[in-house]
Amino acid sequence: MKQARNHLAGLAAEDSVLRDYCAKGYRLLERRYRGQGGEIDLVLARGQDVIFVEVKKSRSFDAARLRLGERQIGRIFAAASEFLGRLPMGQLTETRFDLALVNDRGEVAVMENALWP
Per cent of the chain over pLDDT 70 is 97
Q: Rounded to an integer, what distance in angstroms lies between the CA atom of residue 85 and that of residue 62?
A: 33
pTM: 0.92
| Domain residue ranges in the chain | 2-111
Instruction: Count the neighbouring beta carbons within 10 Å of the beta carbon of residue 66.
Output: 11
8 Å CB contact between 96 and 52: yes
Q: Rounded to an integer, what distance in angstroms lies between the CA atom of residue 34 and that of residue 37?
A: 8
Any idea which fold 2-111 has? Trna Endonuclease; Chain: A, domain 1 (3.40.1350)
pLDDT tens figures, 8-65: 777 889 999 999 999 999 999 999 999 998 999 999 999 999 999 999 999 999 999 9
